[in-house]
């Protein structure tokens, strides 16, 4: 993500928190993070992980679509959050041998619908750019997939993931010569 998008995210968190008359401490408690982390994020001194960013937005009781609405970089590219396989958080859930957990994404869901699908792309699969009325989370199960967003392309490999506003025109393309597959989760938020 470009630096100006990070500054916009930081500023928007600070603005929304102040609009709602919430202290830094209150927001930290609601988002289950430290007060220092909120302060660092608001002052653009640290980049929040995808999980922390979503938790903060939810703690501010802001619709995800509304939070990212009109957010653009100087080059006018849309905000797309990419998380590479090596960036996932490893953790242990219980005492067990051979169980390897990786937290790739956490989402609290209230007043929303979640649609979870597996998408397989043949090597020659194609479609025009499309839009959906949901946030879309993609996790690449196999292969290499290039996602086209208007004039921007993001290439994802097995184990990489991405979250974006589906209202941004987009389409995937299989970059390999065998079938590629991905886990797709659509988050449809009900309008208030």
pLDDT for the residue 1 = 41
Which pLDDT tens digit goes with each residue over 10-31?
Answer: 888 988 898 889 999 999 999 9
pLDDT for the residue 114 = 77
pTM of the predicted protein model: 0.53
pLDDT for the residue 109 = 52
Residues 15, 70: contact at Cβ < 8 Å?
no
Rounded Cα gap, residues 56 and 177, in angstroms: 41
pLDDT for the residue 157 = 95
Q: Which of 174, 148, 177, 176 is nearest to 162 (CA)?
A: 148
Which pLDDT tens digit goes with each residue over 37-83?
Answer: 898 888 877 777 778 888 899 899 888 777 877 665 555 555 666 76
Which pLDDT tens digit goes with each residue over 128-186?
Answer: 898 888 888 899 999 999 999 988 899 999 999 898 888 889 999 999 999 999 888 88
pLDDT for the residue 42 = 86
pLDDT for the residue 116 = 80
Rounded Cα gap, residues 101 and 176, in angstroms: 28
Beta bridge partners of 171: 148
């Amino acid at each position: 993500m470009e630096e100006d998008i990070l500054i916009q995210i930081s500023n928007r968190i600070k603005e929304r928190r102040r609009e709602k008359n919430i202290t830094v401490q209150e927001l930290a408690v609601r988002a289950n993070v430290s007060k220092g982390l909120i302060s660092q994020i608001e002052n653009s001194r640290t980049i929040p992980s995808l999980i922390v960013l979503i938790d903060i937005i939810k703690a501010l009781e802001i619709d995800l679509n509304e939070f990212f609405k009109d957010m653009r970089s100087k080059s006018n590219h849309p905000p797309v959050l990419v998380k590479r396989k090596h960036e996932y958080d490893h953790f242990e859930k219980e005492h067990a041998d051979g169980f390897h957990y990786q937290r790739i994404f956490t989402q609290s869901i209230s007043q929303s619908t979640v649609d979870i699908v597996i998408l397989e792309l043949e090597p020659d699969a194609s479609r025009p750019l499309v839009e959906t009325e949901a946030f879309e989370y993609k996790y690449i199960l196999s292969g290499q997939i290039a996602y086209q967003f208007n004039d921007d392309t993001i290439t994802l490999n097995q184990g990489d993931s991405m979250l974006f506003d589906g209202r941004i025109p987009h389409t995937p393309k299989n970059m390999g010569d065998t079938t590629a597959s991905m886990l797709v989760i659509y988050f449809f938020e009900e309008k208030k």
